Structure 1
Amino acid sequence: MTTHGAGRARTGWVGWAYFAAAVLLVVGIIQIVNGVIAFAHSGTVLTPTGTVVHVSYGTIGWSYLIMGAVLVATGAGLFSGRTWARVVAVVLAAISLLANIAFFAMYPLWSAVVIVLNAAVIYALVAHGKEISRR
């Protein structure tokens, strides 16, 4: 007999949800570092054909910083059991999965690994994400 408001029991899948949160935090931090590096590398570049090109990585740097901040916030939100974080994580994993399908011919091994991880993250958060929700 259960009482009103009793939550579902946690299963082993909750570990996958926490794994997804940890991955999002790490990838977000890496994206932020990449953004800072992109700002540092703006300047003049010599191409292999000998052409001198002025390159500004400002837009790339800002996109890395913004994406990194979103990923870190989503990972932290997953650890704290926020529903919005589960939704954002599933959307980001789906976009990543589709992008890696598009680049599968260029990077088959890496794309396959990322596709499988994204599919596992999506499944874990959709099917068992309520287990990490705040009670």
Structure 2
Amino acid sequence: MSSTSARRPRTAAVWTGWVVFGGIMMVLLGLFHAVEGLVAVFDAGYYLVDPSGMVVGASYDTWGWLYFGLGVVVVAVGCGVLAGNRVAQIAGAVLAGLSALAHLAFVPAYPVWSLIIIVLDVVVIYALVAHGRETAAAG
């Protein structure tokens, strides 16, 4: 019994690194969203297509403020994940999913960047969903 209990915290501690990685990536992705949003608001000519060529025909001002707001929220939730808050982990997985969907609609404007963000969102979802419970077990 003592060997099983001795192994359990070590295994949990190993997987806790994934959750910390997810939290750090959320803060970084939130900052990326905020910058991307500000670029869309202040320099709409930066993107490859005009708003009529987008999946959702909203103006770049609308996209910009959406991404800026999403970025601020993602940074805050990422800090909550780093603090070990289980609710923040769940919210982080949901926000990463919303971010991936938003970038899926944004692919025509900036394809490579959008695909990179979608992949990082999927990694964050994996880290928070697959290994979130281990954080509670380690703490």
Q: If the length of structure 2 is used for normalisation, what is the TM-score?
A: 0.60
Could you list the per-position Cα deviations for residues 91-128 of structure 1 after superposition, in whole angstroms to 9, with x for gaps in the alignment? 2334456678897xxx69x85x7666555433432342
- The structure richer in helix per residue is 2
Report the identity percentage.
Answer: 39
- Note the aligned Cα RMSD (angstroms): 3.8
Distance 1:12 1:114, change over 3 A: farther
1:74 to 59, 74, 77: 77
Equivalent-residue separation in structure 1 for 2:79 and 2:86 (angstroms)? 12
Q: Which moved more, 1:68-77 or 1:89-98?
A: 89-98
Equivalent-residue separation in structure 1 for 2:65 and 2:104 (angstroms)? 25
- Number of matched residues? 117
Gaps of 5+ in 2: 3-7, 50-57
Equivalent-residue separation in structure 2 for 1:116 and 1:13 (angstroms)? 20
3-state SS of paired residue (1:81):
coil
Bigger relative CO (Cα 8 Å, ≥ 6 apart):
2
- The structure richer in strand per residue is 1
What letter is aligned with 2:32? I
1:129 and 2:122 are equivalent in the alignment: no
Q: Give the C-alpha shift of residue 130 in structure 1.
A: 3.1
Q: Is the 8 A contact 2:29 2:71 kept in 1?
A: yes
Higher Cα radius of gyration:
1
Equivalent-residue separation in structure 2 for 1:130 and 1:93 (angstroms)? 18
Q: Is the 8 A contact 2:20 2:82 kept in 1?
A: yes
Equivalent-residue separation in structure 2 for 1:117 and 1:11 (angstroms)? 23
Distance 1:38 1:96, change over 3 A: closer
